[in-house]
Amino acid sequence: MAKTNQIIVKGISIATFKIASESYISLTDIARNKNADEPKDVVKNWMRSRTTVEFLGLWEQLNNPDFKGVEFDSFLFEAGSNSFTLSPSKWVETTNAKGIISKQGNKGGTFAHQDIAFEFASWVSSGFKLYLIKEFQRLKEDENDRLKLDWNLQRTLSKVNYQIHTDAIKENLIPVKLGKQQISFVYSNEADLLNMALFGKTAKQWRDENSETKGNIRDEASLEQLVVLTNLESINAMLIKQKLSQSERLSQLNEMAIIQMNSLVKSKALKKLK
């Protein structure tokens, strides 16, 4: 059972709890307004009434697809007679009712969905029902305020985490600006030229740093990096036709890789493909 809360109505402490979004209120506690010594008897007397049985049955039919209608009809037929008695536990066990819950133990008692609890409170005392509704509404407002506070807190944390995530992406995905020595170095093949432009290291350098990994530098690349790599291959082919030196091509490819990666990490369309 969910955590219980307490509301005070005319000096009487009344327990409530929630199942999913539905609130349940202690009928046992409400009954103390009528008979503080034997609240259980108050609940049983209320359930003897044909009007009560009709109300409980209708609530279950509207809210409980597993409600046993045949067994309910039997109770309805007998309700109101001098010999008829009905306890909350018998009602639940026989009809598979969900609107009433019996809880055992020191903090136990009979709880009912708020619709049923308000109906019971009316039977106990119409004035007491009004006080009950007022305090219950105050409890709901307090809960809503806490939910708003939690939501704002979660929203703030999400923004902070998003910024942290964004910074991490930039640190790990955005290519570094190559220095003059890296650009002037002669690379043995065009594949490593592209690796330097995008990853800032050759395939061999990556393998030396990741000796326990089975794949290669491109196997471990992100979707964004693979997209940029494909673009760099096309751009490099064009630069070769323009007869640019390797160092000139590397400088331009590195700048292009930085520009494209910055754009792609912000791309909503690309995120949908992941």
3-state class (DSSP) for residue 110: strand
3-state class (DSSP) for residue 109: strand
The answer, yes or no, to whether residue 172 has pLDDT greater than 60, is: no
Q: Return the pLDDT at 53.
A: 94
Kind of pairing between the strands at 100-103 and 22-26: unpaired
Q: What is the mean pLDDT of residues 25-38?
A: 91
* pLDDT band, residue 164 (cuts 50/70/90): very low
Tell if the pTM clears 0.85, that is, is over it: no
Q: Look at residues 10, 273, 265, 3 and name the one whose alpha carbon lies nearest to residue 135.
A: 10
Q: What is the pLDDT of residues 94-148, one digit of tens each?
A: 999 999 998 876 667 899 999 999 999 999 988 888 889 888 888 888 777 776 7
Cβ-contact 110, 24 below 8 angstroms = no
| Mean pLDDT across the chain | 83
The answer, yes or no, to whether residue 59 has pLDDT greater than 70, is: yes
Q: How many CB atoms lie within 10 A of CB 59?
A: 20
Q: What is the mean pLDDT of residues 167-178?
A: 63
Q: Return the pLDDT at 223.
A: 79
Strands across the sheet with 100-103, in order? 5-9, 12-19, 22-26, 109-113, 100-103
Q: Which residue has the higher pLDDT, 237 or 25?
A: 25
* Sign of the torsion formed by the C-alpha atoms of 130, 136, 142 and 148: negative
* pLDDT band, residue 162 (cuts 50/70/90): very low
Distance of CA 105 to the CA centre of its chain: 32
Q: What is the pLDDT of residues 189-207, one digit of tens each?
A: 888 888 899 999 898 999 8
Q: Which residue has the higher pLDDT, 9 or 271?
A: 9
Q: Return the pLDDT at 18.
A: 87
Q: What percent of the chain has pLDDT over 90?
A: 35
The answer, yes or no, to whether residue 3 has pLDDT greater than 80, is: no
CA torsion, ordered 107, 104, 89, 15, to nearest 10 deg: 20
- Domains of the chain, by residue range, sit at 5-147, 174-273
Q: Name the one residue in this structure whose structure tokens are 């009004």.
A: 130
Rounded CA separation 196/259 (Å): 15
Residues 6 or more apart whose CB falls under 8 angstroms from that of 140 comprise: 23
Maximum mean pLDDT: which of 91-95, 142-146, 173-177: 91-95
Q: Return the pLDDT at 63.
A: 92
